[in-house]
Amino acid sequence: MKNITTVLEYHDRTKHRPSRYAASLGYMDWATQPDPYRRYLDALLIPLKHSEITPPYHLLFEKDSLPSAPLCIESLSQLLRYSLGLAAIKSHGGSEWALRCNASSGNLQPTECYIITPAMAGLSEYSTLSHYAPREHALELLHTYETPLSQDGFTIALSSIIWREAWKYGERCYRYCQLDAGHAYGAIKMACAMLGWQCKIESIDTKEIAHAFGLDQFERFHPAERESSDLLIRIENISPLPSLPTLSYRANLLSSSHHDWPILPLIDEATQGVYPSPKPLSRPRTIPEPTKNTSEVILKRRSAQMMDGSSITLEQFRTLLDSSQFCAEASDVHFILFVHRVEALEKGLYTFIRNGDDLETLKKAMDQNFIWEDCNNGLYCLQKGDYRGAAQMISCNQEIAKDGAFSFGMLCNFSTSLEKHGAIGYKNLYHQCGMIGQILYLEATSLGLSATGIGCFLDDEFHALLGLRDQHFQSLYHFTIGRAIVDTRISTLQPYTH
């Protein structure tokens, strides 16, 4: 109960309100900007090879259409390259920065990735624990196990360096770390589909994850830069986690000094526990029309910073909504959509119910004047009209929310999740929203459109617009999709050419 209270207090306290945003420094402290690359000093670095050969994107969604790739260093390399690897180097005014396949709030990249693999030619004759180094596209070898592990698959742990996000976003950053972990999982899920592999999140205590991957060996990390375990991902593998001795490799220092946000360790501690088993969605996504190759979709995915205000077709709109069903493990999330410019669809406020179980509860909870006009396949019109101003206002006044063809909030069954799973349900809901976000970014790119995740929104202004009066449903992530205006002053370079 104490942990639930901590979650409710944290959630309320970190809401952005028109009169005051959640607490943060309020300026960019460039002197303490964290290094976006974790490295383990003295660990052996094993470079991974690049391969550009990937299947057509639409085949990722057609069951059994892609052969299952052998488990070897080349396929592991592809998995990491097209999920968490660098996608582009941007350059402007003498500075350069890297963007990755996985979207990240403020591009601060809090998510780290650790992998347990069986013996593998090119990596080690033993089973290993390693850390993925995206800048080098390489594995840092942290441990070799004496006992051989099953050759069936890999196990991946994702963790968050909360300080990386706290540096810019202060107290609200815990939400962003979890959304980013969800994006990273979504990226891994897509890269697995490309290799014909199944991946799933395991229901396991997050403290067990920390123990098996050495994240609770606190002496190896600066106290302000420790990692919090988020998720355990099984790729074609269910064997028990091997035990780990104390490792000698110390984590690099990311910042010379740190700002303290006492609420962050409290919410982090409160949301540890046994990760919920997903309750999968019953309606799968339909197979999309052929568009592009997977590598092109993944590497070209970029967040739009401006949208051009043009329309999209109804078919594109439907395809985008439908693609979210690929995240079958994200069954607690519905969309509330501000439709601005979709051909053959009247402007207005809509909802896309991704899991029919919540339909009646939502009808009761929301404004009783909503018309609930059934537009088929889970889409309902709530009210007709021009919502561009409301969309912009709710998205912290960001114009992309009104200039996209549509923007939306991800409304989650909040109190039921917390009741069912305890405080870790909070973490899980953000992961669900993040994974949907990553898939929608990719789907938009495959259709020649662009998207942007919106972490900055006025929580209760949005709830009030829907007539929601309590915490039963809460919106945890916002999003916009349309056509980007590309900033031609910024040049794009290929990563990994050096």
Ligand X SMILES: Cc1cc2nc3c(=O)[nH]c(=O)nc-3n(C[C@H](O)[C@H](O)[C@H](O)COP(=O)(O)O)c2cc1C
Q: Which is nearer to ligand X, 78 or 407 (CB)?
A: 407
Listed residue (315, 34, 299, 291) closest to 162, CA to CA:
34
Residue closer to ligand X, measured from CB, 100 or 234 = 100
Residue 472 is encoded by which pair of tokens? 């039963």
Minimum CB–partner distance for residue 492 and ligand X (Å): 11
Min separation Cβ 36 and ligand X, Å? 11
> Rounded CA gap, 171 and 23, in Å?
6
Nearer to ligand X, 348 or 455 (CB): 455
Which is nearer to ligand X, 96 or 374 (by Cβ)?
96
Q: What is the largest CA-CA distance in the chain?
A: 66
Find residue 129's DSSP bridge partners: 116, 143
Closer to ligand X by Cβ: residue 115 or 184: 184
CA separation, residue 269 to residues 164, 174, 328, 448 (Å): 18, 12, 28, 42
Integer angstrom CA distances of residue 281 from 191, 327, 365, 430: 21, 8, 22, 17
Rg for the chain (alpha carbons), in Å? 22
Asked whether 307 and 450 are in contact (CB, 8 A), the reply is: yes
Q: What residues pair up with 205 in beta bridges, in sequence order?
A: 274
Q: Using the Cα atoms of residue 459, residue 259, residue 42 and residue 241 in order, give the sign of their dihedral.
A: negative
Dig out the tokens for 387 from the structure. Answer: 């919502």
**Among candidates 430, 456, 412, 38, which has minimal Cα distance to 250?**
38
Which structure tokens are listed for 247? 């490792």
Give the nearer residue to ligand X in terms of CB position, either 180 or 358: 180
Binding residues for ligand X, per CB under 6 A?
99, 103-107, 176, 179-180, 183, 302-303, 398, 452-456
Coil, strand or helix at 229:
strand
Angstrom distance (rounded) from CA 489 to CA 485:
12
Question: Shortest distance, CB of residue 80 to ligand X, whole angstroms?
Answer: 16
Check: CB of residue 142 under 8 Å from CB of residue 117.
no
Q: Which is nearer to ligand X, 107 or 198 (CB)?
A: 107
CA 53 to centroid of chain Cα atoms: 25
Residue 346 dihedral angles phi and psi, to the nearest 5°:
-65, 145
Q: How far apart are CA 371 and CA 24, in angstroms?
A: 40
Sheet holding 199-201, edge to edge: 44-47, 138-145, 127-133, 111-117, 154-161, 227-235, 199-201
When CB distances to ligand X are compared, the closest residue is: 455
90: left (phi over 0), alpha (psi -120 to 50) or beta: beta
The answer to whether 186 touches 439, Cβ cutoff 8 Å, is yes
Spatial separation of the C-alpha atoms in residues 433 and 156, rounded to whole Å: 20
Cβ nearer to ligand X, comparing 106 with 196 = 106
- CB closer to ligand X, 176 vs 473: 176
The nearest distance, CB 433 to ligand X, in angstroms, is 8
Phi/psi for 456 (5° steps) reads -95, 100
Please say which residue, 88 or 129, places its beta carbon nearer to ligand X: 88
Which CB atom, from 17 or from 49, has the smaller least distance to ligand X?
17
CB of 286 to ligand X, least distance (A): 26
Amino acid residing at 66: L
Q: Which is nearer to ligand X, 106 or 265 (CB)?
A: 106
Residue 427 beta carbon to ligand X: minimum distance, rounded to whole angstroms: 14
Distance between CA 374 and CA 288 in Å, rounded?
A: 23
